[in-house]
Amino acid sequence: MNLNILIAGVGGQGNLFASSILSEYFINKGFEVLAVETIGAAQRGGSVVSHLRVSDSEIYSPLIPAGQVDILLGFEIIEMLRNFELLRADGSYLLNNYKEPTVLCNMELDTYPSDESIMAALQKSGKKGYTIKATECARQIGGSLLTNVVMVGALCQLSPLFDSQEVRQVLARKSPSKVREQNLKAFETGGSLISKATGQS
Amino acid sequence: MVTKEYLMGNEAMGRGAVEAGVKVVAGYPGTPASEVLEYVSTYPDVKAEWCINEKVALEITTGASLCRTRAMAVMKHNGTNVVLDFLMHLNYTGVRGGLVLISGDDPSGISSQNEEDSRIITHLDAHLPVFDPWCPQEAKDMVKTAFELSEETELCFVVRPVTRVCHARNQVTLEEVTAATGKEPFFEDDRSRFIMSALQEPKAGGALRPVVRHKWLNEKQPELSQIMEKSPFNHVEEGEGNIGIVACGIGYAFVKEAEKILGKKFPILKLGTLPLPRDKVLKFARQMTKLVVYEDSEAVVEGMLKQLLYDEGLQVKIVGRSGFLPREGELSTTVVLKSLATLYPELEKRIPETKPLEMKVPIRTRTQCVGCQYRGLLHALKLMARKTHGIVAGDIGCYDAGSFPPLELQSTIYCMGSSIPMATGIQYSGTKQPVFAIIGDSTFFHNGVLGLFNAIHNRVDMVAVVCDNRTTAMTGFQPHPGSNTDVHGKPAIAIDVARLAIAAGATSAQVVNPYDIPAVTKALKKAVSEKGVSVIVASMPCYLLARRTGDIGFTPRKVSLEPDLCNGCKICVTYFGCPAIHFSDGKATIDQATCVECGMCVYVCKRGAIT
C-alpha cells in the first residue's frame, strides 16, 4: 500500500492538525508514515502545504514527488490549483470551495481567477474530484477554524482507505476538551457533505 | 521492547541529545531548527536557554563542555555565520565534555534571506567533523553518536540537517535517557589549550601557539577519517552499471525515491560524514567510470572527491552541483529523476508525467497578520518616509513584510542587525534625505544594539524604530532579553529598550503604542526634527500571542465603511494593506469575517468613510 496525500491551504487553516489526525490513524494501523510541512515564513497568511506519505514499506523522500499525489486536499482554491501539477494522472482532489483573496487581489493589483475559469481549468485537467463548501459549513457549526476537520470528515467518507469510525476516535483523542464536541460535529458534517457534493469527472 | 514515537526531525535531534545525557543546550531561534531547543526544554534536568544570539549560545555551551559537561548549541545557517569567529578558535582548543553544534540549513531559502551550505564554514573552513542526516531517525542517531565521538576526539561535532530533515515527521525509535548529571562538573586549567593567544610554546621549540594548535587540529583529520570509515552513516549499495551515485544527506532520500519510481537499482555510495571515509570512497570509485554527487546545496563533497581522486591518480569523471545539476535551490526527486534521464535516456519514459494547469495562479505574498500592531506603525512610517523622501533600512522579522507590495516601505533588508549600520552608511553618503532604520526587538538584542551604540557614539542623524512585541514572533514566539519570561515560562529580567537607548546617549527614546497611528505619527515628526539618533520604541505584545491570553492591545470596535464617503483613493489598501479590506469597483469594503476589530483603519481613511 502506498498513499500520498497533499494538503494545500493558507496559514491558520489548521493544515497541520488535519495532517496529524490522518498520520496517527495510519500509524495506529501499523503503516509507515512520513510527513513534512512548509512552515516558518509560510505562516502569517502565506501558503501552507503538508505532504503526508503512507506505505507498508520504507518511505524515503518526505516530499511527495511530482505526479505522485493520490489525493489532493484543497483547503483554499488557488492553493490547490498551485499544487495541482503534483497530482498523478489518476489521482483525485477534494476542494473546499473557499477563496482567501491575496493581498494584491484585494487591491486589484492582481486578479483572483473567476469561478468559470477555475471550473474550466479543472474540467480540462481531466482529473476527478469533489468540491464542497467546508468553510461555509464550519462557520455554521462554530467557526472557520473547523474547516480542517470538515475536510477530514469528507475525505473519510470519500475514500475507502479510511475507516471513518477509527479516524473519529483519533480526532476525539487529539482534540482539546473544549473543542472536542465541535470537532466531532464538524467531522460528521464533513462526511454528510459528500453525498451532496458536486462531483467532477 | 522498542518504543517508537512520531517525531519531527528537530524533536528527534533533541531526543538524541537527551538520550546522550546533554546537560546544557543553548541557541537562538531560526527556521528550520527552532524546535530542537523547544523539545529539549521539556526535560527538567537539562539547562535549556534561548540566548541573545548564536555566538553567545556557542560560547556558553563551550564553557559547559570545558567543565566535562555534555552541551549542545542550536542554530540555523545564518547563526552559524555569526559564530564563525568563535568557531575558528574552538576548533583549535578542542573540547572536554561532548559538544555538538546543530546548524540547520535552508536550501532554497524557504524561510531565510539566503540559501547557504554551512558544511563550508564548519568543515572546509573550521575543519570540524560534520554529520549530514537524511531522515529524522538518522538525525537522532547522529546527534547521539556525535556526543560520544566528540569526547573521544576532543573535537566539537557538527550536525547539519536541511529543512526537509528538520521538519519531516516519522516514527523514530526511542532509547533510554541518560541522566543529565553525568560526570561531576570540574574545570581543570590547561592554558596551553584554553588561552588562545600568540604566545611562544617552549615545549614546541618556541613555535607560536596558534601554529601549534592548528597542527593539533590538522593531525586530528586522519583519526577522524578512520572513524568515518567504520561509521554506520556511510554505506555502499550494489546496483547496475558503472555510473556511481554518491548520495549525501537528504540527497539519499531523493535518490532512493527515484530508484523506486524508475524501478532500477543504481550503485550507491551513501555518505553522511565529513571528513569522507577515504578508503570506502576510493574502493567505490575504482569500480566506476563516473560519479554523480547529489548533495544540498553546494558542491562540497563533489569538490572533496575530485581532490581525493586527483591525489590518488584516479581518472573518474565526477559531476554534481558544480553544473551538471542545478547550482541553486534545493534537491528534489524531480531533480534526481531528470538528471538520471540524461545519463540513461531509456528511463525518461518512466518519469511520471505532470501537466501544469492551464491558468495563471496569483502569488501569495506574506503580510502582517490581521490585528498586528505593526501594520499601524508601518503605515505611519510609510507616510512619513513619503513626505520627507526618507530612506528606510530594514531588518529581519515579521515586520519585514512591510517591504513587500503594497507598502514597499523598507529599501534594504540583509541580515540580523544590519538596519542601523546601513542607515548610518546611507547618511554618511551625504544624502539630504532623512534616514530611518526599523528593527524588531529580538533582532535588536541579537546584535542590532551594537549598530545603535555605534551610531549614537558617532553622532549620526537618524531615526531608529524598534518594534517591541516582547517575543521572537517570526519563528514561533521564543523569548528574548526583552521578554519577561524564559523558555520554561519562568520569570526573567526584561531589558527595557528605551531606557537602554537613553543610557547609551540617544537624543530621545519615545515609547509609543503602534496601534495609535496619530501618536506614532507625532513621535516620528519629533524624531525627524531632532539631531543625533532618535529612538522610537513601538511597544505592544504580539497580537497573535496576546490573543491567546485575551490581553490584546486595543479595545475591539466594530468598523463599517460608508460607500458614499469612499472616493476610491486606495490609501487603505496601498498604504495600509489589511487583508480585511478589499477593493473592487472603485470602492473599499470591509470583510467582517476576517476583521478582528482593531480599529486602526479608522485613522487611515482620510475621508472619514471608515467609522
How many angstroms separate the most distant Cα atoms in chain B? 90
- Residue B182 pLDDT greater than 90, yes or no: no
Interface touch B368/A44, C-beta < 8 Å: yes
Confidence of residue A42 (pLDDT cuts 50, 70, 90): very low
A139–B contact, CB cutoff 8 A? yes
Q: Which fold has domain B3-227?
A: Rossmann fold (3.40.50)
Q: How many domains does chain A have?
A: 1
Domain with CATH 3.40.50.970 in chain B: 3-227, 374-546
From A86, A88, A110, residue closest to B362, measured CB to CB? A110
Architecture of domain B555-611 in this structure: 2-Layer Sandwich (3.30)
Tens digits of residue pLDDT in B302-353: 999 999 999 999 999 999 999 999 999 999 999 999 999 999 999 999 999 8
The residue among B256, B357, B587, B594 with the most chain A CBs within 10 A of its CB, best to mutate, is B357
Distance from CA of B29 to the nearest CA of A (A): 11
Using a CB-CB cut-off of 8 Å, the residues of chain B touching A121 are: 357-359
- Residue B471 pLDDT greater than 80, yes or no: yes
Using a CB-CB cut-off of 8 Å, the residues of chain A touching B253 are: 60-62
Q: Chain A residue with minimal CA distance to B4? A: A27
B585–A contact, CB cutoff 8 A? no
Percentage of chain A beyond pLDDT 70 is 94
**ipTM of the complex as predicted:** 0.95
Q: What strands lie across the sheet with B391-393, from one edge to the other? A: B391-393, B435-440, B462-468, B533-539, B508-512
Pairing of strands A69-74, B508-512: unpaired
Distance from CA of B7 to the nearest CA of A (A): 10
Distance from CA of A124 to the nearest CA of B (A): 8
Length of chain B (residues): 611
Tens digits of residue pLDDT in B549-601: 888 999 999 999 999 999 999 999 999 999 899 998 899 999 998 899 999 99
Pair B57, B447: CB distance under 8 Å: no
pTM, entire model? 0.96
Using a CB-CB cut-off of 8 Å, the residues of chain B touching A68 are: 261, 352
Amino acid B451: pLDDT: 98
B583–A contact, CB cutoff 8 A? yes
Which residues, in sequence order, are bridge partners of residue B533? B462
Domain that holds residue A137: 2-200
Amino acid B178: pLDDT: 82
Tens digits of residue pLDDT in A2-31: 999 999 999 888 899 999 999 999 999 999
- CATH top class, domain B374-546: alpha beta
Interface of B with A in 291-350 (CB under 8 A): 332-334, 337
Using a CB-CB cut-off of 8 Å, the residues of chain B touching A116 are: none
Interface touch A46/B366, C-beta < 8 Å: yes
From A63, A78, A122, residue closest to B361, measured CB to CB? A78
For helices B300-311 and B278-286, the axis angle rounded to 10 degrees is 80
Q: Chain A residue with minimal CA distance to B570? A: A107
- CATH top class, domain B235-350: alpha beta
User: Euclidean distance between the first and final Cα of chain A, in Å?
Assistant: 24
Interface touch A108/B583, C-beta < 8 Å: yes
Residues contacting residue B308 through CB under 8 Å, at least 6 positions apart? B276, B278, B281, B282
DSSP string, B180-201: TT-SPP-----HHHHS-S--EE
Using a CB-CB cut-off of 8 Å, the residues of chain A touching B257 are: 60-61, 65
Q: Chain A residue with minimal CA distance to B577? A: A103
Interface touch A125/B357, C-beta < 8 Å: yes
- Residue A40 pLDDT greater than 60, yes or no: no
Interface of A with B in 59-98 (CB under 8 A): 60-63, 65-68, 78-79, 81-82, 84-86, 88-89
Q: Chain A residue with minimal CA distance to B591? A: A106
Looking up residue A112, the CATH number of its domain turns out to be 3.40.920.10
Amino acid B2: pLDDT: 78
Rounded Cα–Cα distance for residues B105 and B296 (Å): 9
Helix (H) or strand (E) run with residue A71 in it = strand A69-74
Residue range A42-63: average pLDDT? 89
Pairing of strands B99-104, B130-131: unpaired
Residue range B251-278: average pLDDT? 98
The residue among A31, A36, A78 with the most chain B CBs within 10 A of its CB, best to mutate, is A36
Interface touch B362/A78, C-beta < 8 Å: yes
A4–B contact, CB cutoff 8 A? no
Which residue type sits at B117?
A: D
- Residue A195 pLDDT greater than 80, yes or no: no
Amino acid B593: pLDDT: 85
Residue range B371-376: average pLDDT? 95
Amino acid B356: pLDDT: 86
Tens digits of residue pLDDT in B400-455: 999 998 899 999 999 999 999 999 999 999 999 999 999 999 999 999 999 999 99
Percentage of chain B beyond pLDDT 70 is 99
Which residues, in sequence order, are bridge partners of residue B439? B466
Amino acid A108: pLDDT: 85
Residue range B42-56: average pLDDT? 97
Which residues, in sequence order, are bridge partners of residue B7? B170
Burial B327-342 (b: 16+ CB within 10 A, else e): eeebbbbbbbbebbbe
Cα B266 → chain centroid: 35
Amino acid A197: pLDDT: 62
Query: Distance of CA A121 to CAs B19, B45, B355, B361, B531, Å?
Result: 52, 57, 12, 11, 60
Amino acid B484: pLDDT: 95
Amino acid A198: pLDDT: 56
Residue range B85-101: average pLDDT? 98
Percentage of chain B beyond pLDDT 90 is 94
Q: Exposed, middle or buried, B542 (CB in 10 Å: 0-12/13-18/19+)?
A: buried
Using a CB-CB cut-off of 8 Å, the residues of chain B touching A108 are: 583-584
Confidence of residue A43 (pLDDT cuts 50, 70, 90): low
What torsion, rounded to 10 degrees, do the Cα atoms B261, B264, B266, B272 define? 30
- Residue A201 pLDDT greater than 50, yes or no: no
B31–A contact, CB cutoff 8 A? yes
From B356, B365, B398, residue closest to A103, measured CB to CB? B365
Residue range A72-77: average pLDDT? 97
Interface touch A65/B577, C-beta < 8 Å: no
Interface touch A41/B170, C-beta < 8 Å: no
Interface of B with A in 105-134 (CB under 8 A): 110-112
Pair A77, A118: CB distance under 8 Å: yes
Pick from A53-62, A168-177, B144-153, B170-179: least confident: B170-179
Amino acid A127: pLDDT: 93
Distance from CA of B585 to the nearest CA of A (A): 9
Amino acid A200: pLDDT: 52
Residues contacting residue B574 through CB under 8 Å, at least 6 positions apart? A107, B406, B407
Give the mean pLDDT of chain A.
92
Confidence of residue A99 (pLDDT cuts 50, 70, 90): very high
- Residue B286 pLDDT greater than 80, yes or no: yes
